[in-house]
Structure 1
Amino acid sequence: MRILALETSAKAVSAAVTEDGKVLCSGYQDTGLTHSRTLMPIVEAMLKNTGLTVQDCDAVAVAAGPGSFTGIRIGVSAAKGLAFAADKPCAAVSTLEAMARNVAHMDALVVCAMDARRSQIYNALFTSEHGRLTRRTPDRAIGLAELAEELRSEPLPLVIVGDGAVLCEKALTESGLPCRLAPPQLVMQNAMSVALCAEDLARAGKLVSAQELLPVYLRPPQAQRLRQPPQI
């Protein structure tokens, strides 16, 4: 199966195509430019340079969340448009599961961390053993202090991934928990891992139509929170 994948959940933006577990091509950019300016040029250049089209792919995958509200909206909207135009199914991949896939070769407890502000991170925990990931928690927003207490009796070594990894490492270290960051080339989200996770979803029969593809938010957007009346 050939998958075109997009990743726009945080500051960096990337796209990739995989086929049966092999990465055919990828593009990555982390220069501070908005995803609305960079995503589609990356996809177009990547496909043009490899002689591929969206029609040559079996599905379009995207990191559907959690993550930056704006980034997730851009990625999901682009995936829906590409899939709808080519009449292809979609794969809605957990951003956190995809980043854990980066270090599936390391035997450890993988701590996924995205900065959610207000001393919280978007987080999920996965056991990584012999190249396979086992989910330990659902995707969630959790306080750093609460996460540290949860991990206090964990016997496995802790490996941290994601754009909030440095923040998480600092909090866990200050709480007396030994941990380490994933290697620099593996710590950040990337579309290659999104595509590999999408292949698993396809094998499990969990692809959806372009119309059914939706973003996943663990908290309401700030604008929505500000509109809500204060609780008395």
Structure 2
Amino acid sequence: MMNVIEKGILAPRQQADVSPIADASLELAADKLGLAIDTTGASCGVGLFRGTRPLVEIIIERGRTHSASLVPAIEQSLSLLDAAVADIDYYMVTTGPGSFTGIRIGLATVKGMAFPAGAPIIPVTSLAALAAPFCASSVAPGVADISLGAEPPLVVSQLDARSERLYAGAMLGHQCLVPPHATHCRAWTEQIFDELIPTYAASTPAPRLIVVGSGSQTLVTHPYWQERLSAQPLLVEYIPDQRLSARGVALAASQAVASYQQAAFVSPEALTAFYISKSQAERLAEKSGHEN
């Protein structure tokens, strides 16, 4: 049985409705228990997995209250399996970009849990976790109402950083084509249409582009995107409301292991945040220092 907290209300959901991607190359060890956590956005995601098979997943949508919600959600997940922290073999966590406070809460919690036993951690970016459910030739049911066909699509994920700024990245299958970085709508549009799509289309008879994440609406409504798309017709599927989840974290972690093997794991001491940009407080401090 999988359980999901929707807006603070615990609701059961049959495990058969949330099967993971059926791709053996993505599997982590099926006999190991992994805890996946995401606290980089407005919602808080916690899940327990064996390989990519979900056992329990909890999503809390109460705004940014991760400091109060995360540990109880972890405890509830473990209790549903009659398990303890000592039973967790490894951890998976998003390191950013996203909410600076949320990132710190998630990383501090995972470090504190993993440190006593020296349990390994698989860090993944929030953009990788957004893209992961769409990066294979089939998609986990319940992730989105979408069918991908035989070939993996080009997946561009972006988070809204305001004022036409984005945190963006691109994936094709297990391959990271463009690592997460800070950009603007026009520059990202140029990179997608001038670099990514031509390279992808040259090797794929029916190229498909999936645009996912909170920055998607900002990107695809930008006049320059509309101009480029009208000049280069392409099958594009927009999924702006795809939220970060523990399931996406687990899939991104399994893809990282498939690509990097042991190098995908870090020790609790080596786990660090991936902010991309400086916080508002840091920018204000720098500005104040320059003025003084």
TM value normalised by structure 1: 0.88
Deviations 1:113-134 (A, max 9, x none): 111223211110112xxxx332
- Pair 135,168 (structure 1): closer, same or farther in 2 beyond 3 Å: same
Secondary structure in 1 matching 2:70: helix
Partner of 2:145: none
2:154 is the alignment partner of 1:113: no
**For 1:140, which of 178, 181, 184 is the aligned residue?**
181
1:145 CA drift (Å):
1.0
Deviations 1:4-44 (A, max 9, x none): 01001111110111112211111001232411121111111
2:80 is the alignment partner of 1:80: no
Structure number with the bigger relative contact order (C-alpha 8 A, sep ≥ 6) is: 1
Structure 2 Cα separation of the partners of residues 74 and 118 of structure 1: 26
Structure 2 Cα separation of the partners of residues 149 and 198 of structure 1: 29
**For 1:198, which of 238, 242, 253 is the aligned residue?**
253
Aligned length: 225
**For 1:42, which of 73, 86, 106 is the aligned residue?**
73
Partner of 1:167: 218
Gapped regions of structure 2 (runs ≥ 5)? 1-31, 139-147, 202-206
1:173 CA drift (Å):
4.8
Gapped regions of structure 1 (runs ≥ 5)? none
2:186·2:225 contact (CA, 8 Å) conserved in 1?
A: no
1:93·1:197 contact (CA, 8 Å) conserved in 2?
A: yes
Greater helix proportion: 2
| Aligned-partner residue type, residue 136 of structure 1 | L
2:216·2:240 contact (CA, 8 Å) conserved in 1?
A: no
Structure 1 Cα separation of the partners of residues 243 and 123 of structure 2: 19
Cα RMSD, aligned residues only: 2.1
Secondary structure in 1 matching 2:251: helix
Structure 2 Cα separation of the partners of residues 123 and 70 of structure 1: 20
Structure 1 Cα separation of the partners of residues 163 and 93 of structure 2: 27
2:192 is the alignment partner of 1:151: yes
Partner of 1:11: 42
Deviations 1:53-78 (A, max 9, x none): 22212111110111111111111111
1:87 CA drift (Å):
3.4
Compare CA radii of gyration and give the structure with the larger one: 2
